[in-house]
Amino acid sequence: MEFKNIGYALLTIFIVLNYGLILQGVVRKIGARVGRRYGIRWYQPYIDIIKNYAKRSTITHGVMFYIAPVFRLTGGIGLLLFMPVIFGSDIFGNFSFAGDLVLVLYFQFFGILGMALGAAESGHPYSAIGISRGLSQVTSFELPLTLGVLAVAMQYQTLNITEIVAAQQGGFMNWTIITNPFAAIAMLIAFLGAMGRSPFDVVLAPQEIPIGPPTEFQSGLLGVLQLNRAIFPAAKLILFMNLLFGGATNWAELILKTFLIYMWPVFVGTVFPRFRVDQSIRWFLTVPLIIGIIAIILI
């Protein structure tokens, strides 16, 4: 039975990984078309991964520098495997258990801490800037996110994601976004920071400094990060779908809901320019934090 569950988990990772890679290529294509550019091919992420795994690097920075991408990927896989992907499915129910909502919140932060430790060992003079930016913004958007999650847990009187999804069955009027709008708004605003798109892409700051993980890590290490960039966002989309939009009972429903959820940060990132670090932190500690507090008070 244990080997059977491991096989189901690997199948889930394989499907979500490919969905994340395709979604990544399609979204970049949409962003390019909005800017009146042709953009990349939708399958370009596959080519990038194959290219990076085909290369070798002789650069050494220390043990933690090599472990950091593994930490990052572990956070994405852990987030995916400890929540239901398809509600009511024995195959894609994963390792959901009582209290898994608390665990997945830890997994969201796990990979970021690993990358901070890896950046600290890289020896790059600007690594401290990236660490301070990343941890500051993560801390600021985690506050309204946690308040929203606590409001949802208090509403349904459970910390089990499967039970939260079950409580939302029976039509869209039972979805959390309808029954608990303040918690949903706080979480959706925090979701913008969690996805790291403009105006909250202050960590990599692609328009400001051409450094960061894409240039610090090479070959297979960068390939591991690219795998995580496919799995981690897809896992976060599934998490928000489960908590706010009633989950999914089949893959077609999952793809439709998660794609529409992803369009929220894509739309905001296309319309608004990047914030400065202080603007980003101030934003998360005002509007969404206040809404999250209201959600707790109302519950």
**Where in the chain are the domains?**
2-298
> Which residue from 161, 176, 175 is spatially nearest to 105, judged by alpha carbons?
161
Mean pLDDT across 118-147 = 79
User: Whole-prediction pTM value?
Assistant: 0.89
Residue 211 has what pLDDT? Answer: 53
Residue 185 has what pLDDT? Answer: 94
Residue 215 has what pLDDT? Answer: 62
Mean pLDDT across 242-257 = 93
Residue 166 has what pLDDT? Answer: 93
Mean pLDDT across 30-50 = 84
pLDDT above 80: residue 158: yes
